Chain A
């Protein structure tokens, strides 16, 4: 079965600083990968998804970007963080033709 790793687990960053969150997946090949954000007390918002290396689809215009340099690696970045970027960031993986997305443990980001 697939395992999803995310790091760091927690991050506190000042406004205007850059960001890099990493997600790696084990146990599956050529997965579909997703980044979600969960603001405090709210539901999940899909930010990006990727069906393959170098292929990124963005769901909402924002201060963030994503990249997929390797088959099982998905990176979320920002050049300059905003206060509104604070939240819980979740990476998810779906293998091949499977129906189900599985989630990583998440990264809690606080922008001050």
Chain B
């Protein structure tokens, strides 16, 4: 079945540091890929998505490129802020009618001032 493998956390960075959170996937067909963010005590918010190979999703300074050849969708940000501290989830959506999401285990990011 489909699966998502996400970089283990927690990750602690200083403000303005460069961020990479690795995500690789296994899926049949052509899944859509997502990054969601969860702030403390809250639900999940969509951060960005990509629906086909070589698409780049971007939002709030975060970027991720759908790499079919390496089955990856790594999340990057050039300069993190304290407000970026949260848990980040990589996910894929299958191509079936239900469009079920398969999530990675999440990566806790803490940004220190």
Contacts and interface: CB of A to CB of B under 8 A. Distances in A.
A103 B43 contact: yes
A99 B99 contact: yes
Prevailing SS type, chain A contact patch? strand
B49 A100 contact: yes
A94 B101 CA distance: 11
A10 B93 CA distance: 29
B42 A99 contact: no
Interface string A36-59: 000000111010010100000101
B89 A49 contact: no
B17 interface: no
B105 A49 contact: no
A25 interface: no
A101 B101 CA distance: 8
A44 B105 CA distance: 7
Given A49-B98, A104-B43, A99 B103 contact: no
Nearest to A97: B99
B44 A90 contact: yes
B81 to A, nearest CB: 23
B99 A32 contact: yes
Contact of B104 (A6, A43, A101): A43
Nearest to B33: A99
Contacts of B49: 99-100
27 contacts: A6-B43, A32-B99, A34-B101, A43-B89, A43-B103, A43-B105, A44-B101, A46-B100, A46-B101, A49-B100, A51-B98, A90-B44, A92-B101, A94-B99, A99-B49, A99-B51, A100-B34, A100-B49, A101-B93, A101-B99, A102-B46, A103-B43, A103-B44, A104-B43, A105-B42, A106-B42, A106-B43
Interface of B: 32, 34, 36, 42-46, 49, 51, 89, 93, 97-101, 103-106
Top-8 shortest CB links A-B: A103-B44, A43-B105, A103-B43, A106-B43, A44-B103, A105-B43, A43-B103, A99-B32
